Structure 1
Amino acid sequence: MGLLDAFLSLGTGSKKNSYEARKERMDYLIEEVTANIYFKQLAVQTSVNLIAKTLARCEFKTFKNGKVHKGETYYSLNIEPNINQSKTAFLNDLVSQLIYSDEGALVVQTDDMQLLVADSYQRNKYAVKSNDYQFVESNNYVFQRTFYEKDVLFLELNNKQIRATIDGLYDSYGKLISGSIKNYNRKNARKLVLNISALFDQEFDKYENEGDEESEADKRIDDLMNNRFKNFFAEGDSVVTLEEGLKLDDFSSSDTKNQASSRDIRAAVDDVIDLVAMAFHIPRGLLKGDVADIEQMTNNFLTFCINPIIEQIENELNRKLFTKEEYLAGNCVKISTDRIKAFDLKDIAGSMEVLVRIGAFSVNDVLEFIGKERIDEAWADEHIITKNYAEIDKYLKASYKKVK
């Protein structure tokens, strides 16, 4: 039964409580549907936040003629893509559109060089000429111009059906979670039986007047069920009075084995998280916040989830920001993932020392890698190498001379 069908069916029932019944039933349906949406949104939005925060820790390095160059493009990609957003907020919108949009994520550049993530757009695809984008809207502003492929950055998931797949899987698990919640409430709810003896009706016969649609006994029962029992079942301490002829028996299960556990609900929710993690190639333990084997999970996350997205962003930036000649001359953007992992200086000291002594890193390279200030001295940019290393032919000649 759909939500509309359920709403229409609320009209049946007694006239006396028709409004209250419809309202109560409608509130229950809205609460149930909302709860199911929240469970799915929890898993998907957690994935979006994890991917966006990881990308925000990457550095977009810009190169000019093969050398690192920090200019307008570097500042825009790493600090302020537009006047209203930081890099982190911008990437969060980008990843959200990448996942939630049926087409993909579109980034347009304004006349004053600001980068904006489009909330909606119309994409016209062609085979032998440039695609174009119309009715581009961002933050309630609709552009009156047409954007062409060379003017935009367009990103899409490798599997465009990932959202449809998640929605399809959740259709079944949503029912399972809803059933688990109902089962939990049913088994753990208090079940009482109100016994009404013949003495109760006789006691109030004397109050009954001719022409009354409802007897005094019925009025007392209605008051008991609708008013006095409300405080009795409240969380705080309460007392309820019962007239002679009424008896309240508790039929709730006292056997803990027959009571439902919230772990059944949690297990169903965990299944939803596992399915979403699988769809986005995120290790399940990383999405749930597990700390066991965190290093291996992080490596897998970077390899199978983050790196493919980074490669797509990097390729799109390079083919749209630079011409073929400029790119071949060494003008490009490279996205560095070196700062994603948190590390202790003691853990990487040995590795840094090796990189310096073989000439791969200078002192300033090491300082920049660990997030420290560079040294404004010529020697800090020099690359050194230990004397223990030599070319193989020179080593053999020196050894031959010693033998002679």
Structure 2
Amino acid sequence: MGLIDSVLRRNKELETLFDLDLTDETIHRAYLKKMALETCLNFIGRTISQSEFRMVKENKRVFNDWDYLLNVRPNTDQSAADFWHSFIYRLIDENEILVVLTDDNNLLMADSFTRDEYAIYPDVFREVTVKDYMFKRTFRMDEVIYITYNNEKLTRFMDGLFSDYADLFSRMLEISLRKNQIRGTVAIDSTQSLDTESQTKLQNFINKLFNSFRKNSVALVPKLKGFEYDEVANGEGSGQSVEELAKVKKSLIDDIANILGIPNALIHGELAEYDTSIKAYIKFCIDPLVKKVKDELNAKLLSKEEYQQGFKLEVRGIAELNPLELADAVDKLRASGVYNGNEIRVKLGDEPKDIPSLEEYVLTKNYESKDTDKGGENE
């Protein structure tokens, strides 16, 4: 320490420099996490919100109160599309979703609750809170709609990844901002060190000088005797490009999309592999979610006796096939006798019709056996 003390005593200007804060802390970009989650979760939410919930019996639709609640107005504040969008978003983001039915037939998503688990009795939910209202009653598991998505909250699972990406993005952004930074030196004709008041006045003048350069296309500043400003570099040619920053954001979205089963090409709107991507998206992302929702609704909305009588709830939406795009395949299935008309209608998401010809199995000549009696020569 003696050598440093002697140097500082000989040069008071160096002593003031050691008081400067030269650290550059990395700011965690919270919006990166929000952007990635919003992009992927809203993508899935918009898809599920297009679904239609049908109560059917022997493939024929049955209209009742549940049909209105699930497809039109689940509660007084939300349409069906808004409700199911929020339902799926919260299910994936928080790993679970609890929906209760009020006495006036409103389906409400709980913002918070406490779950008491039992081994041989139904679990109980208490302190169920919706917005600012807490229900005084408790709800048994067989009285609510409760679905879990995975083993952990997505946000908690992704915290480490988001932190690393935030550090990387922050550093790249800071370098990019310095790319065209105006840099210069200020020389003062003085042989004496400046006191605190003089340093403050000088710093204020330099700040005004910098703001004049930064904010105005044409800047005029007074030329003072004993004060010289010399621009040494503007940083051109260094730093990260905007494209590189965009790649980091895209890479973060890709990682989350992969976890959720969304093809990267689809989430970024790339049409080159659209058909393949949409099929993979429906099969590995949407269908499992729809299956979870459908199983829970069937278990909670229908009794065992009703289910055995042929009642069940079906979810129809984007996963259904387009009959116009499959006209050739439908024709072959019908002509080969594998399916009748009504069976094909059910597979396409339509109800069967009470038309006798649709119940018949048709076999065209192209699919007839060689041994089929054709008459004429064989007679």
Q: Which residue number corresponds to residue 226 of structure 2?
A: 245
The structural deviation recorded for 1:334 is 1.0
Q: Does 1:181 align with 2:173?
A: yes
What is the alpha-carbon distance in structure 2 between the residues aligned to residue 74 and residue 235 of structure 1?
Answer: 63
Shift of residue 195, structure 1, vs aligned partner = 2.3
Q: 1:309 aligns with which of 289, 297, 303?
A: 289
Question: Residue 389 of structure 1: CA displacement?
Answer: 6.3
Do residues 139 (structure 1) and 114 (structure 2) align? no
The residue aligned with 2:70 is: 77
Whether 1:388 aligns to 2:369 is: no
Q: Which runs of 5+ in 2 are unaligned?
A: 1-19
CA distance in 2, matches of 1:89, 1:118: 15
Deviation for aligned residue 1:311: 0.3
Distance 1:235 1:259, change over 3 A: farther
Contact 2:263 2:277 in 1 (8 A): yes
SS in 2 for 1:169: helix
Contact 2:37–2:256 (8 Å) recurs in 1 = yes
The equivalent of 1:318 in structure 2 is 298
Unaligned runs of 5+ in 1: 1-20, 203-211
Q: Is the 8 A contact 2:178 2:239 kept in 1?
A: no
Change (3 A) 1:151 1:402: farther
Distance 1:191 1:50, change over 3 A: same
Q: Which position in structure 1 is the counterpart of 2:314?
A: 334
- Give the Cα separation in 2 of the matches to 1:381 and 1:68: 21
User: Post-superposition shift, 1:255?
Assistant: 5.0
The structure-2 alpha-carbon separation of the partners of 1:391 and 1:326, relative to structure 1 and needing over 3 Å to count, comes to farther
Structure 1 stretch 45-54 or stretch 65-74: which is displaced more? 65-74
Aligned pairs for 1:4-403 within 5 A: 32-33=27-28, 36-101=29-94, 104-198=96-190, 214=197, 221-234=202-215, 236-253=217-234, 255-256=236-237, 258-338=238-318, 345=324, 347-351=325-329, 360-361=340-341, 388=364, 396=371, 398-399=373-374, 402-403=377-378
Q: Structure 1 255/214 Cα, relative in aligned 2: closer, same or farther at 3 Å?
A: closer
Deviation at 1:236, TM superposition (A): 3.9
**Whole-Å Cα distance in 2 between the matches of residues 79 and 252 of structure 1?**
64
Taking only the aligned residue pairs, the percentage that are identical comes to 26
Letter aligned with residue 288 of structure 2: P
8 Å CA contact retained: 2:175, 2:239: no
Are residues 385 and 240 of structure 1, via their aligned partners in 2, closer, same or farther at CA, if it must alter by over 3 Å?
A: farther
In structure 2, how many angstroms separate the alpha carbons of the residues matched to 1:381 and 1:139? 55
**Structure 1 residue 86, shift from structure 2 partner:** 0.8
Provide the secondary structure at the position in 1 that maps to 2:223: coil
**How far did residue 312 of structure 1 move?**
0.5
- SS of the equivalent of 1:297 reads helix
Cα drift, residue 92 of structure 1: 2.0
Structure 2 residue matching 1:270: 3-state secondary structure: helix
In 2, distance between residues paired with 1:119 and 1:72?
Answer: 25
Matched-pair contact (CA < 8 Å) for 2:51–2:316: yes
TM-score by length of 1: 0.75
User: Quick check: 1:66–1:329 contact (8 Å CA) kept in 2?
Assistant: no
Give the letter for the 2:373 counterpart: A
Whole-Å Cα distance in 2 between the matches of residues 312 and 79 of structure 1?
21
Work out whether residues 355 and 361 of structure 1, in 8 Å CA contact, stay in contact via their aligned partners in 2: no
* Cα distance change on mapping 1:293 and 1:66 into 2, 3 Å: closer
Which has more helix, going by share of residues?
1
CA distance in 2 between counterparts of 1:344 and 1:323 reads 34
Count of matched residue positions in the alignment of Structure 1 and Structure 2: 353
Q: Given residue 213 of structure 2, which amino acid in structure 1 is its aligned partner?
A: F
The CA distance in 1 between the partners of 2:307 and 2:61, in whole Å, is 14
Residue identity opposite 2:294 in structure 1 = E
Superposed displacement of residue 41, structure 1 = 0.8
Distance, in Å, in 1 between the alignment partners of 2:81 and 2:282 is 18
Q: Would you say the 8 A contact 2:94–2:154 is kept in 1?
A: no
